[in-house]
Structure 1
Amino acid sequence: MALFGGSNRSARSWLLARNLDFNARPIDLIDSPEGLRAVCDYLEGYRVRA
């Protein structure tokens, strides 16, 4: 949540928006173990840079 400034609205918007890096919406990817791992790795990469 810290990546989104603590905003539920921002986090939800990110999950529902098409992500160019994934060429998909994150919400659609997290239904599978592989997709969940990809989304978590993506977010972890941003967390580490922050």
Structure 2
Amino acid sequence: MPQMSPMWWTSLMLCFIIMLIILMTILYFNLNNKMESNINLMTNKINWKW
């Protein structure tokens, strides 16, 4: 189906870009949560040692 080809490629590219954006946001939030949890663990350990 050659007539469907441009629409297919545009939809594929759109899906790819949306998946990349979702992946980046998930990674960003995961990194933020890990950093916050590490800081919380450090403070908890320091409080516990004291």
Same fold by TM-score, threshold 0.5 exceeded? no
Scaled by the length of structure 2, the TM-score of the pair is 0.37
Scaled by the length of structure 1, the TM-score of the pair is 0.37
Please identify which structure carries the higher helix content: 2
Which gives a bigger RCO, structure 1 or 2 (Cα 8 Å, sep 6+)?
1
